[in-house]
Structures are given as structure tokens and as C-alpha cells.
Chains A and B, each alone.
Chain A
Amino acid sequence: MILFSLLEALQAMAANRLRTLLTAMGIMIGVAAVVLMVSIGEGTQKQVTDSIKSMGANMLVVRSGSHSHGGVRGGAGGVQSLTEQDAHAIALLPGALLAAPMVQSGVQVVYGPNNWGTTAIGTTADYLQIRNWELASGRDFSDSEMQSGMRVAMIGQDVASELFGRDDPVGRMMRIQQSPFRIIGLLSIKGQSLDGRSQDDAILVPLRTAQRQLFGSRFQGSVSFIMVQAVDDAAMTPLQRNIGLLLRQRHHLADKADDDFSVTNMAEVTETASQITGMLSILLGAIASISLFVGGIGIMNIMIVSVTERTREIGIRMALGARRSDIMLQFLMESVIITVAGGVVGIFAGIGLSLLASEMFGIWAVITPMPIVLAFFVSMAVGVFFGLYPARKAALMRPIDALRYQG
């Protein structure tokens, strides 16, 4: 019986090819939109999670903060109130694993005829550990290089490709501003940060080298950031508070004075970011679902027309012994075939569009099997749901009325 209805449905659909095609297209577009939007949503979410992972785990960032002076308040980073010694002190707090002091500034780097504007970060060897950043080749700063502030650098992948193309940069000399530096390490690819900038467009130099030789006059022994890694997630909040207390004491701030630093809990930042992208995914999915819904209404519309057109046929079938369930199955089968066919084509169209979007527009689209399987079953459900009313309408006709119908 099922097989027979299937064949009959295909026959009826073949008799109205254009109509069937257009109706299926409505579903196809809906399903394609769902697949596309969900994959973009997932892609964005993955991008954010990757950025979060690349940032380093359980991280707190201490910034030298605004400084009040006679009622005039500078912005964050307006003064360099933090020192390398602050970082050492923070590293000794309970719950703290590592603390890396940092200074950073824009610099011009030169190798042969090539030059490139990038960010130089002066820091310690702990920085790479906190950022969970590995070397692609070469080595880390040695203790003596750190202590004496030697002119050595580790460079990011973007800088390497700008200056050296495909050549191995390790061991070569380049100039930062006016000074020659030896490249001792090449960093691995880190990708985009949360704000969309490439983290690979940077060079690392020993903290002391940066302070004395690169941005000497601006930072007299002070640092702009301290990156702190907590031992685990639970230690984050107490550590954040303890850093505050410690720094107020070290900076000799009066009870009523504002902090001259700020402590940012990166876990909170990332949580907010993933909440926003989660919302984005839901929103995109919801918008796409509307088009699937509209496609479903198209199915219902066409099926109602089809039932009316074939009233007499329904009467004949009933006279020949068809039960209500037989008639119902016949029309349901038609709507389900249309939606499933449209759904399958839509899935492929959606995958194609996702690939195209990531290829052409750099949108991150991640195709996972879950939404595809879901889209298939949803399109089937759409067929049943929107086919049910027309099919019922057909099945509940009285045979004499149906037979008498002049179509």
C-alpha cells in the first residue's frame, strides 16, 4: 500500500511538473537557508571559541590604569604605573601560576628591501606559556638574553612571511627601528584574536631589551600590562581580588584613592562573547526557519488546490472501496515527497552556499552533520504538518459529493 501510494504520488507529481518543482523550491530555499545560517552561526561560534582558546586559559590581565591628578583623570594606560617587580609579586600570590610583564608598541621592521609595520612586545619567557603559544622553529629567550637585554627576537608567522617569504627566518638578522636584531625563534600560527586582529602580526623581544633599546625613553622601567595565569578556573575570582589588594599596597595608594590599574578577568569577557555568538546563531536559525515555514505554507496551498482539483478522482476511489485512511495516505505521501525532495536538494544547496561563503567572503561557516540531519527530518515534518490539513480535507469528503463534483 505504501509502495503503491508512493508510485501514485510520483505519477501525480509528474503530471504537474512545474507546480511540483516550484513548491519543492520553496522548501529547498528554506532548508538551504537553515543549513547556511546554522553553519555560519556555528562557524562564528567556533571562531570565538578558537580565539578564546588561543588567548590562553584562566587568564587575568592587569593594565596600568588611569591616574587622577588634581581632578583630571587620564584614560586606562595613561600612566605606566606597573613595574616588572609588580609582576614578580603577583606570581607569588596564592592561586597564581605565572605572571608575565609586557610592554608593547608599534615598530617598523626591516629585512633587506622589505619592511613591515608591526607590534613589538617586550616580555619574559613566561608569556608564551601563559598564551599557550608554541614555537614553530628556533628557541625561546635564554636567561642571559633576558638578564642583559640582548637584541634577539621571536617573530610571528605574518611578520615572517612579509619579510622572508617562504625562507626560514631563524638565525637571520633584521632591523627593528634602527637596531639590528637576531631572530632566534619562529612562533606557530595563532589566528585571529577576539577583536579580529591577527595575533601572528607581532614580534617578541626580551622585556629589558624593549625597555632600554626600543621604547627606552617612554617606559622607564615600567610595563603596560601584566598577564597572569591562575592555577585553575576556581582561583580566578579570589586571585583577581588579591591582585587588587596587593597592587594598592605596593603602589602606596591612600584608602580613598582610585586604583591606578585595572584587572580584567578574561573568562568573563569570553563568556560574554560566546553568549553573544550563541544569540547570533539562534537569531540566524530563527530567520532561516521563517523561510522554511513560508515554504511549508506553499505546500499547504498547493495541496489544497490539488485536493480540490481531484475531488472527482477522490469520489471514484471512494466508490471503488478506498477508505479514508487510503485517501489520506495518498495526499500525505505527495506532500512528504515534495518536502523531502526539496529538503535533500536544499541541504546540498546549503552546503554549497556555506562553502562558497567561506571561500569568497571569508565568512566562517562550519558544516556539522547535526543541522543537516535535523534539516532533513524537519523538512519531512513540514511535509506531514502542512500536508495533514489538505489530506484530511480529502479524506473527509462524502463520496456522493465528491462524485457529483464538476471540476
Chain B
Amino acid sequence: MNAVVTLHGLYKDYETDAGPVPALRYLDLSIEAGEFVAIMGPSGSGKSTLMNLLGCLDVATSGEYLLNGRDVGGLSQNELAEVRSSVIGFVFQGFNLLPRASLATNVALPLVYQRVERRARRERAAAILQQVGLGDRLDSLPPRISGGQQQRVAIARALVTNPRLILADEPTGNLDSVTGREIMTLFQRINRDSGISIILVTHDLNVAHYATRLVYLVDGTIQYDGAVAEFHEPAPELP
């Protein structure tokens, strides 16, 4: 059993005034350790919902989600926080760094919630920032550096707890194409070197090509699941 993520009949709907609207319909999916998976799909296909569920930020209406072999359904908010802290690293489209905290403090923040001691936090953050090429900017503030550098800091923050899984939600969405390529290369390197599984949500097939496997969602169901190279994006359906 080497799967990082296993979904069985995962179902999620949202309550609206017009009754429940399904967002994910009975998904079955398994992602092995060390895989680099891109999730694509048109707007409203359920990509974001799936990411929130995978990141333990939200809970499914029904179905089973095993993360790293552990069933996370029915966990309390505090237990979910602990799972997020120990297993998952997040990279967001908008970087989501704390603007008033130094790069080192930003990177060390997840370690605070793991109750890691102050000096050890600082050392670990410095080492990770070194890996992403920002070892000389420990005490800079996020607004003083470029978007690409900010995203590197965010990746360092995701890596600092040594997670099994990194969830990246449109990580190149706010970057120009050159910087975007650098960031994707960094993800590839991390995936290859440390064997951390990466799940990437994107709407850009060029970005998805950095992954090895592609999952294409339409209306909350999986329409394609296979190698990225063999995927041809369907033309958008006309209403």
C-alpha cells in the first residue's frame, strides 16, 4: 500500500437556496507516492472542490478519502489541522505570504504549529530557502521581492515540514511565462529529488506537461486519467 491519496466514491454537494448542487460525483482515484499529477478541467468541473477536499480544508458529503493510508473522514477540526501540518504542503496562486514577516519567518511558520523550537525553525527555514535559491534573502520582506521569488518562498514554506504531498493551486497563474517555467522546473526537481507527490491544478496544458499524469474533470466526474503526453484537450463545448 504505497498510495498517498485514495478516493472511493467521493461525493460532495453544496447547499444552495435551490437545493443541494453536486460538485463532485462519486470520484475514485488513487495517487501513488512520488507521482506528479496535473488536474485540469473547465470552470465548474469541480477542480477547486477536489483540491479543498484533498487538502483537508473541507470534508466530503460522502465517500472515503484515505490520505497516506489514514481515513480523514470524520476527523475533528483540530485533527484535520494536524494532518495538514504533518502531511500536506500548500502552494497557492496568490503566494499567500504574510507581508510583514521576513522570508525566514514565513517559511518557518508551519513549524510553529508543529511546536518546533525557535532556533531549529530558523535553521530549517534557512536550509530550505537555500535550496530554492533564496539563501541570501532570509530577512527580506515579501513585498520587496519579485513574484517568482515570492512563489519560491511559498514552495519553501510547503517543503519545510517535509510533507508527503504538495498541493499546488494554479501556482503559475500570477507569473509571466518565463518565471512560470522556472517555477514548474523547480516543482519537477523537488518531485524527482525528494519523491514528494505533487498534485497541481491548472487550466494551462503547457503547465500540465511538467507533470507525468493528468486527470481531467468534467461536471464532477473524471473524464480522462492517464499520461499527459497522450491527452488532447477537448474543444470547449458551445452552449
Show the binding face of A for B, using Cβ within 8 Å: 1, 3-4, 11-12, 15, 312-313, 316-326, 398-400, 403
Contacts and interface: CB of A to CB of B under 8 A. Distances in A.
Interface in B94-108: 96, 98, 100-101
B220 interface: no
Interface string B106-123: 000110111100100000
B84 A321 contact: yes
A294 to B, nearest CB: 30
B213 interface: no
A322 B81 contact: yes
Nearest to A396: B77
Interface of B: 52, 55, 57-58, 77-78, 81-82, 84-86, 90, 92, 96, 98, 100-101, 109-110, 112-115, 118, 157, 161
Given A323-B113, A400-B52, A318 B81 contact: yes
Contact of B115 (A1, A11, A15): A1
B98 A321 contact: no
Contacts of B110: 320-321
Given A312-B96, A320-B113, A322-B81, 15 more contacts: A1-B115, A4-B112, A11-B100, A11-B101, A316-B96, A319-B55, A320-B84, A320-B90, A320-B157, A321-B113, A323-B78, A323-B81, A323-B82, A399-B58, A400-B57
Contacts of A3: 118
21 contacts: A3-B118, A11-B100, A12-B100, A312-B96, A313-B98, A316-B92, A316-B96, A318-B57, A318-B81, A319-B55, A319-B84, A320-B110, A321-B85, A321-B110, A321-B161, A323-B78, A323-B81, A323-B113, A325-B78, A326-B113, A400-B57
Contacts, number: 61
Contact of A324 (B57, B81, B157): B81
B84 A316 contact: no
Contacts of B85: 320-321
Nearest to B55: A319
B46 to A, nearest CB: 14
A322 B113 contact: yes
Nearest to B114: A321
A316 B55 CA distance: 12
